[in-house]
Amino acid sequence: MMGQVVMSTAATIQSLFRMPAGLCNVTFWNNTAAATVYVGSSTSVTSANGLVCHSIPTSFFQYVSSGGTQFYGTVASGPATVSYIIVTDQ
């Protein structure tokens, strides 16, 4: 599965994608290099606790989630576009 999320203004937490339950790989990147995007699995993701989403793809391989994990993002200065690819064994 692949997709793209357009993130609006700064300091707004937005839902990006949901990792399905089970074993999977995910790759995500920031299409808007001028905007700084922070990603995390909490609805309170910030620059202090989030992973910076670069224009160079970030990947997690063999990510295991028993119930599925929602990823959220926020931008320090918007707007920004985040693309993702999720690969499962299903």
Distance CA 54, CA 38 (A): 9
**What residues have CB less than 8 Å from 12, skipping those under 6 apart?**
74, 75, 78
In CATH, what number is assigned to the domain containing residue 71? 2.60.120
Q: How many structural domains comprise the chain? A: 1
User: How many alpha carbons lie under 13 Å from residue 87 in its C-beta half-sphere?
Assistant: 8
**What would you measure as the largest C-alpha separation in the chain, in angstroms?**
37
**What residues have CB less than 8 Å from 48, skipping those under 6 apart?**
none
pLDDT, residue 88, reads 85
pLDDT, residue 28, reads 93
pLDDT, residue 11, reads 66
Tell me the pTM. 0.85
pLDDT, tens digit, 9 for 90 and up, residues 20-67? 888 888 899 999 878 889 999 899 998 899 999 989 998 888 777 767
Q: Is residue 79 reached through a cis peptide bond, with omega within 30 degrees of 0 on the bond before it?
A: yes
Provide the residue range defining the domain that includes 63.
2-88
Q: Are 89 and 23 in contact (CB under 8 A)?
A: yes
Q: Is the pLDDT of residue 79 over 90?
A: no
Distance CA 20, CA 55 (A): 24
pLDDT, residue 49, reads 93
